[in-house]
Structure 1
Amino acid sequence: MAEQGQLRRVITNLAHGGHALLDEADPDQKIVESQDGLSALSTVVQEPAETAAHVRTTSFQYLFADLADGFPAHHLPQDDIAEVVNALLDLGAAVVETPEEVRDPLLNSPIPTIYTYWGQFVDHDLTAATDNDLTISITDENLPPVKPEEVIKRLKNLRTPALNLDSVYGDGPFAVPAADQNSVPYDGIRFRLGLLTPTPVGVLIPPVDDMQRDLPREDDEKHTPLIGDTRNDENLVVAQLHVAFLRFHNASVDWVRENEPERESDVEVFQRARDLTRWTYQWLCVHDYLRTVARPDVVDLVDTADENLLHMDRRGTYMPIEFSVAAFRFGHSMVRGAYDWNRNFGRPGDNVTPIATLQQLFQFTGKGGFINDAPTLPSNWPVEWDRMVDKNSQFANRFARLIDTKIAPPLADLRNEGEDPKLTERIRELLKQLARRNLLRGYRLAAPTGQAVAKALGVAPLSRTELEQGSSDKVKAALNRSALFDHTPLWFYVLKEAEIRELGRRLGEVGSRIVAETIVGQVRQDSGSYVNQTSWSPAQGVLLPNGRPVRTIADFLRFAGVL
């Protein structure tokens, strides 16, 4: 069975959201990942038994088991599936701004850009199993929702749902690399980094003598990144964040050797540096990330509660469907169409262009091909993180968009998605439309409605007046179809709750609870996490040169030497 053997540590060739789907009728058959990250509709790929023996998966479950048990009473309508699908397609199209509708550029959240992509990094660290659109048969035709018990039985996760940085460490520096498989490269117990490719265009990004600012890569046609999860080379922001994690570990190795000389062997130093990196990351997820994107009072409630929704019924380790296919996708609404990236592609002045477009941030990756076929990131493209982390910046485009039901235009035409010529034109088009994919996926995987989750949490559901407030005529028309005003898709509901009740500045109560319960719960469940140490806090971790502990994401980047 796929649950046997060793959990996959290095995941390659997995498209954004590829997932494992098991066929219980034959324990030797399963989909783990296809060569292009996509699997044919309703098919099962045969793998040799010796391969299957080395792959283990973890489970998906429903955070609100009572709602799942009551299927379909707490879900989107089931009586006319084609009509519901068309309503969801209309809604997915209506929430994306057209170029003419793009909001006032001064209207943004108070959340710096880094938090959008820290969330994406966290998602890749927790899951590799949630949204292969072909395997779960997202089409605009017949789309019957899978019953919750069948979703639990068949949908599997290639990641341990813990904030343990599998996506960074891979199999570690002491493992013997498997034949014909990529592995995370180390120089001793430090991560190997990739060098920038010099270019005469623009200026060098300080520090100008530091060229180790790309991911390590294969010397091949695709510039394949040698990292624990190649999805972290999907766009340049998350790729540069992954570089920061590699460098934070390397700096931790140096710090341990200098400050804890009692740890003499490479094994001791590596394990200590890895622990300090993991614990700092986990602490920041709870105390900086969550308290920035969610309601701090809700995070405090969850963090101090004796019981946690994720594990109070003792179902073991799992990833909640409500989190992975709905609530945690709130970050999609925060994505900007363009960024103040660095002095070459940022504020007007001595730069090449006034902004870096989202399209460019997808192009300047291995998957995007690096324009002009550079073998690594060009020297004029490293991020200047000070433009991404400042909560007091005077520049509006250094902040994320509001968390609301208005999605940036580029997310209706995702670069690097839907490019497989073997797919039908209709499927290729759908794969490029993020909002539609989110809504159809939630329906297919039987996510409960927003109203049902609100009631389960004891929160007053959004009224029809609130759902209509600020909504375009197209959104209202879509919600009017198939009674979606009364049975609202959870992803849209979480965004609308943030928009109306928190003015788009952070998640509302329902969204905050789902996200906080999941992240705090996974940290608690992990026996190796910082909360399961003896009174660990950043004061017991690595220290900045001025002696201060790492207490913010900005501090994390400073210690890594990239800010």
Structure 2
Amino acid sequence: MPRLGHGRSITENDIQSAESGLAEVGVARTAAFALTTPAGSQSFDFLFPSLQDDEANLLPQGANTPELLKNLGSSMVDTDTAGEDSPIPAAYTYFGQFVDHDITLEIQQGFGSATMAQLLDPAMTPLNVAAIRNALLNHRTPTLDLDSVYGLPAPHDPADGNKMQLGTVELLRSTTPPTARPAGTEADDFHDLPREPRDEGNIEHDRAAVIGDPRNDENLIISQLHVAFLRAHNALVDQGLSFEDARRVLRQHYQHVVVHDFLKRVADPAIVDDVVTNGNRWFDPFSEPNFMPLEFSVAGYRFGHTMVRAEYDFNSNFNLGAIPASLELLFTFTALSGNISDRFNTLPDNWIIQWQNIIGDGDAVMKTRRLDPGLATFKQNEFAALFALKNLTGATETPDLAARLAVRNLLRGYRLRLPTGQAVAEHIGVQVLTKDEVLAAAISDEQRIALEAGGFQFRTPLWFYVLAEARHFHNGAHLGPVGSTLVAEVLVGLVRRSTDSILTQPGWTPSLPSAKPGTFELADILRLAGVLAGSQPPATHTVQAGDTLSSIAAAKLGAANRWPQIYALNQALIRDPDRIFPGQVFVLPPKQPVGPIPRLHTVSRGDTLSGIAAAKLGDQNRWPEIFTLNRAIITNPDRIIPGQVLILPAG
């Protein structure tokens, strides 16, 4: 079961090896990939297929185009200078990576999107459209369901099957930096991923993380974020929720964070609000077969690469002082990328993250690098960090160009026939950057020369264009119109398609506590997990004798008629809204109402979902919406039971 260096291509044989290994060893040992239940693959395809009809919408297919793109990628090197920041807290770079691992895992069939040798071949040419559609598969569910957390082989806690298993840190028992345990992390030792035992010589298993997607053990920040999600699930179980209910509540709040926190920081909030309110215009989340847009996965969503810092203020031991937390160190102390420094069986406790350094408000919180056509390297070494990617042995990739992430991104976009940024901007009807504006967005004279040498100021690679317009329109604070549209259309669409989607449940609002009234952010998930100061338990109510849903709503929410909101949040626990039982623990919605109270329908003999949709929604073809909203009590859409109380969609 192969382990992956950053950016390595994955083949069908890799997936088959992972599946075979998982079948042999069960959940006790890790596979190289998350295997959802049921396992399956979706395709990649073009969001704007009509742009393929005219070669003028693509990069010029000249004999020297690959070499010109290599030069442009090499020009994207930028020393990570203090002050060249976005307003976005640095943690969101890695939350974006966490989301990416939840929705995409590209595998190649046959010759695929290219081996490294194919990408770097000076004579490389783009694949044709049919070859692209046949070559690439997405081995992830096209939804925001946290299957990277809950998918096989992630184990449950042996002591409590409702909880997820965590790993413990290795105790150094030191009080002297840099080996001291960071303050505020002493409450328990469950700050690592569950791992296989040391198995020297077996790179596939040696201390490998036993989680739904081992790519989340690629660097230490995303690894610690994955730990936080496992802890957040367990915190909900500690509040009395079952595994299924804790998963549902965490999924929904995760979806809320993606749409209303993450997206509104990295993209234009007005564009995000438009897609949420008025629906998807370009990406149909309910199309079958569903596909992952190449313009998003190969270009638009790779904006996160420019947000990466070369060094981080990670904790009290490793910060911007004497020992910076460099990217190299953050890779070293994981199993997937660095074998936990070879010295330790699990993460040493001096490497527990202090989240308050990279998330929250205020000037002291470290921010991401600004969004522009540059990727971070160290001041003392031009080609380091994201220009010196490592292979599985820890050595820098060879040849040099293979180690440069920007070069890889540009060449893959060319090979996969991505349209130019100008073509996409014109197609979706937003302001198109002029040639002078593209050149003005360059971060150096060398980059301007590389743009002009390839004529890329006229036909700009889509990924580069997304970064250039972020700098042009917003000085790198967030994405511009093309980038915002690509990212918002796809992520909001995938939320709509998701199990327990918050966007198909009328009146859904966050029910877990938040530090800021009326909001729920990534920091609140970290507080729930107990890894960020200010942790609070979720708002719940334990049913007492004589309670009714309406009396609970009156007492806790201030309005008896809000009882359907309590029912909607706890549908899996309530068979009949008129019969609740002492001792049941219900999650409560916020006291301040947001959105309409959901409509309900009690199933009568002879009812079908299509019949209910026709009678209540005016269109029998809307029955899947009812099914989606009521998955907690309906397992077979052809079998509903008289007396069941169904939540109806809006409209």
TM-score computed with the length of structure 1 as normaliser: 0.81
Does structure 1 residue 479 correspond to structure 2 residue 451? yes
Q: Displacement, 1:21?
A: 5.6
Match of 2:210 among 203, 220, 226: 226
Check conservation: 1:325, 1:441, Cα contact below 8 A: yes
Match in the other structure for 2:603: none
Q: 1:416 to 1:256 in 2, by over 3 A?
A: farther
Residue by residue, what CA displacement relative to the aligned partner does 1:40-76 show, whole Å, maximum 9, x if unpaired? Answer: xxxxxxxxxxx9x9852111111112113x1533111
Match in the other structure for 1:343: 316
Match of 2:131 among 117, 132, 150: 150
Check conservation: 1:317, 1:525, Cα contact below 8 A: no
Q: Displacement, 1:247?
A: 0.6
Rounded to whole Å, the distance in 2 between the matches of 1:277 and 1:217 is 23
Residue identity opposite 2:224 in structure 1 = Q
Rounded to whole Å, the distance in 2 between the matches of 1:136 and 1:254 is 51
Rounded to whole Å, the distance in 2 between the matches of 1:74 and 1:315 is 27
Q: Displacement, 1:407?
A: 1.1
Rounded to whole Å, the distance in 2 between the matches of 1:313 and 1:530 is 15
Rounded to whole Å, the distance in 1 between the matches of 2:83 and 2:367 is 10
TM-score computed with the length of structure 2 as normaliser: 0.71
Q: Displacement, 1:210?
A: 1.7
Rounded to whole Å, the distance in 1 between the matches of 2:397 and 2:186 is 47
Rounded to whole Å, the distance in 2 between the matches of 1:554 and 1:330 is 22
Check conservation: 2:80, 2:309, Cα contact below 8 A: no
Matches within 5 A, 1:62-77: 62-68=46-52, 70-77=53-60
**Structure possessing the higher relative contact order (Cα contacts under 8 Å, 6 or more residues apart):** 1
Matches within 5 A, 1:47-126: 56-68=40-52, 70-78=53-61, 80-81=62-63, 83-97=64-78, 102=79, 104-126=81-103
Check conservation: 2:314, 2:357, Cα contact below 8 A: yes
Rounded to whole Å, the distance in 2 between the matches of 1:424 and 1:469 is 32
Match in the other structure for 1:266: none
Check conservation: 2:389, 2:405, Cα contact below 8 A: no
Matches within 5 A, 1:302-341: 302-311=275-284, 314-341=287-314
Farther-moved stretch of structure 1 (209-218 vs 523-532): 523-532
Does structure 1 residue 291 correspond to structure 2 residue 259? no
Match in the other structure for 1:469: 440
Does structure 1 residue 559 correspond to structure 2 residue 537? no
Q: 1:133 to 1:431 in 2, by over 3 A?
A: farther
What secondary structure is seen at the aligned counterpart in 2 of 1:189?
A: strand
Match in the other structure for 1:363: 332
The runs of 5 or more residues in structure 2 that have no matched partner are 19-34, 200-205, 378-383, 533-651
Rounded to whole Å, the distance in 2 between the matches of 1:308 and 1:362 is 39
Does structure 1 residue 210 correspond to structure 2 residue 188? yes
Q: Percent identity?
A: 39
Rounded to whole Å, the distance in 2 between the matches of 1:215 and 1:60 is 31
Residue identity opposite 1:150 in structure 2 = A
Q: Displacement, 1:306?
A: 3.3
Farther-moved stretch of structure 1 (194-203 vs 410-419): 410-419
Residue identity opposite 2:403 in structure 1 = K
Check conservation: 2:5, 2:390, Cα contact below 8 A: no
Q: Displacement, 1:468?
A: 1.3
Match in the other structure for 1:525: 497
- Figure out how many residues of one structure are paired with residues of the other and give that number: 490
Rounded to whole Å, the distance in 1 between the matches of 2:341 and 2:39 is 36
Farther-moved stretch of structure 1 (111-120 vs 207-216): 207-216
Q: Displacement, 1:130?
A: 6.6
Check conservation: 2:436, 2:457, Cα contact below 8 A: no
Match of 2:474 among 496, 502, 509: 502
Larger Rg: 2
Farther-moved stretch of structure 1 (12-21 vs 367-376): 12-21
Q: 1:313 to 1:481 in 2, by over 3 A?
A: farther
Rounded to whole Å, the distance in 2 between the matches of 1:152 and 1:402 is 34
Match in the other structure for 2:376: 408
Q: Displacement, 1:473?
A: 2.4
Farther-moved stretch of structure 1 (464-473 vs 221-230): 464-473
Check conservation: 2:11, 2:107, Cα contact below 8 A: no
Residue by residue, what CA displacement relative to the aligned partner does 1:370-411 show, whole Å, maximum 9, x if unpaired? Answer: 22511111111111001111232235xx11000001211134
- Runs (4 or more) in structure 1 with deviation over 4 Å come to 17-22, 130-133, 418-421, 546-550
Match in the other structure for 1:379: 349
Q: Displacement, 1:107?
A: 2.2
The runs of 5 or more residues in structure 1 that have no matched partner are 1-10, 23-29, 36-50, 172-181, 258-268
Q: Displacement, 1:424?
A: 9.3
What secondary structure is seen at the aligned counterpart in 2 of 1:462?
A: coil
Q: 1:247 to 1:166 in 2, by over 3 A?
A: same
Rounded to whole Å, the distance in 2 between the matches of 1:57 and 1:497 is 33
Residue identity opposite 1:73 in structure 2 = A
Rounded to whole Å, the distance in 1 between the matches of 2:288 and 2:471 is 33
Q: 1:315 to 1:135 in 2, by over 3 A?
A: farther
What secondary structure is seen at the aligned counterpart in 1 of 2:221?
A: helix
Does structure 1 residue 129 correspond to structure 2 residue 106? yes
Rounded to whole Å, the distance in 2 between the matches of 1:336 and 1:55 is 35
What secondary structure is seen at the aligned counterpart in 2 of 1:325?
A: helix
Match in the other structure for 1:442: 413
Residue identity opposite 1:60 in structure 2 = F
Rounded to whole Å, the distance in 2 between the matches of 1:313 and 1:74 is 27
Check conservation: 2:357, 2:364, Cα contact below 8 A: no
Residue identity opposite 2:367 in structure 1 = F
Residue by residue, what CA displacement relative to the aligned partner does 1:200-247 show, whole Å, maximum 9, x if unpaired? Answer: 353212232421100010002331000011110000000000001101
Rounded to whole Å, the distance in 1 between the matches of 2:102 and 2:81 is 34
Match in the other structure for 1:513: 485
Q: Displacement, 1:457?
A: 1.0
Check conservation: 2:441, 2:468, Cα contact below 8 A: no
Rounded to whole Å, the distance in 1 between the matches of 2:462 and 2:107 is 16
Rounded to whole Å, the distance in 2 between the matches of 1:420 and 1:547 is 43
Q: Displacement, 1:184?
A: 3.2
Match of 1:159 among 131, 140, 148: 140
Rounded to whole Å, the distance in 2 between the matches of 1:419 and 1:148 is 35
